[in-house]
Amino acid sequence: MIKPIRIGLFGYGVVGAGFARLVAQIPGAEISRIVVKHPFLHQELGPELLAGHLHEVLYDKDIDVIVEAIDDADAAFTILRLALEQGKPVITANKRMVANHLPEIIRLQRRFRTPVLYEAACCAGIPVIRTLEDYFRPELVGGLTGIINGSTNYILTAMERFRFRFDHALQLAQEAGFAESDAALDVEGTDAACKLSIIVRHLWGLYVPPERILHTGIQHVLPQDLRLAEQLGGVVKLVAQTQKLDTGKVTAFILPRLVLKGTPLYQVLQEYNGIVLEDIYGDEQLLYGKGSGAAPTAQGLWADLQAWRRGYRYQYPEKELLTLSYDKELTLHFSLPNGAYVPPQLQQQLEYYAADSRYQYFTGRLSLQALASGSWWREKGISILDISAIAGDEEALKEQLNTLMLLRTDIFQPV
């Protein structure tokens, strides 16, 4: 009879408790000890499970593997480092910890010859990292486009389908367990930037810290943006993109984007994630599944646990030496409050086409570098939308927008 895997679990919040419930239903593993930040809140676990200190788990020779599911990225890295020093593999869902410390995590794995697996940190139950590691060579990939944050997708779906206002949609996401304890990490795009940082490393072999990835979230998306997208035959999604440019460099960014009906990401709703991989011939493959919540994240942790048991580990193969570049142009739509500041050097690149009592509306082609070099477009009240999906003749585009734009902010029902 195969001996069950003995697990030391760190964290018993939404993800940790979900993982514990899953382990209890499946033979082949058991949770030996659990470390929590506030033991008095989890007395139902009993003294036989609750550990008084992390060393009771990390230095327990009977524990085979560490599963880490806490919020604190720095504390999580300390746990990971100590576990690897003891020769204990680590399975984690902490995307901030992995993204912020990935070069050191790779070095520690090689030094102690002990693996760290973190599929659940990217898109919960979608095997994106393993797919990139095992099936796609960078020289055959043109780029990756994806919805990689289930919380913001859930919020946008509620706003678009049910006309909820942003604050109510966010409350629903939090009550459903889809949003981070610090909601700003989701809605401002930080969570997605961490995930894209991990994806870029496994796809291109290039480590880009999350803070260097050009990104924003949905915190400034306006009802007008959603209505405009609807009239243009699409929806607004928070989309992460990474592509190899003609210069041989790589770009990576996250912006609210117009996604047209009939394209793969259009039907990715609620807390679901979708990742489109495009090869050098223009053919696409879609990875799809739930991207947040207790159950899908627990399944991702369990899948990594079983992969480790079979001897799997990330290879981090040496790839073509690439660098990050923002030498890429997008067609963008801006909703600017009256009197909002725009850098003088960019004013000639933006075309005014409409206004109402509160906002002026502009379109234009800007490089990502123009966005990266300033923060004016991140200011409260300014909404940015990537409308490159309908880019074409600029005058025709401006006329189309002028015709379709319904400048009303009362289209959402009060909540």
The pLDDT tens digits for 385-407 are 999 998 776 666 767 777 665 54
Mean pLDDT, rounded, of the chain: 91
- The pLDDT value recorded for residue 393 is 64
Higher pLDDT, 181 or 135: 135
> Rounded to whole angstroms, how far apart are CA atoms 354 and 365?
17
Higher pLDDT, 93 or 411: 93
- The pLDDT value recorded for residue 138 is 81
Phi, psi of 96 (to 5 degrees): -65, -40
Residue type, 222: L
> Rounded to whole angstroms, how far apart are CA atoms 253 and 264?
19
CA torsion sign, 290 to 295 to 301 to 302?
Answer: negative
DSSP 8-state symbol, 344: H
- The pLDDT value recorded for residue 328 is 96
User: pLDDT for 216-231, tens place per residue?
Assistant: 999 999 988 999 899 8
- The pLDDT value recorded for residue 405 is 59
> Rounded to whole angstroms, how far apart are CA atoms 362 and 117?
45
> Rounded to whole angstroms, how far apart are CA atoms 208 and 78?
22
> What is the average per-residue pLDDT within 8-19?
95
User: pLDDT for 245-266, tens place per residue?
Assistant: 988 899 999 999 999 999 999 9
Report the interhelical angle of 14-25 vs 294-309 (nearest 10°): 60
Is residue 317's pLDDT more than 80?
no
- The pLDDT value recorded for residue 59 is 96
Is residue 320's pLDDT more than 80?
no
Is residue 124's pLDDT more than 70?
yes
Domains and CATH numbers, the chain: 5-118 (3.40.50.720), 129-290+318-415 (3.30.360.10)
348 neighbors 372 (Cβ within 8 angstroms): no
- The pLDDT value recorded for residue 41 is 81
290 band by pLDDT with thresholds 50, 70 and 90: very high
- CA 323 from chain centre, in angstroms, equals 21
Range from 44-53, 138-147, 386-395 carrying the lowest mean pLDDT: 386-395
39 band by pLDDT with thresholds 50, 70 and 90: confident
Nearest to 199 by CA among 303, 102, 338, 305: 102
- The pLDDT value recorded for residue 120 is 95
Paired tokens of 331: 């067609």
> What is the average per-residue pLDDT within 201-210?
95
Is residue 43's pLDDT more than 70?
yes
Burial (0-12, 13-18, 19+ Cβ within 10 Å), 315? exposed
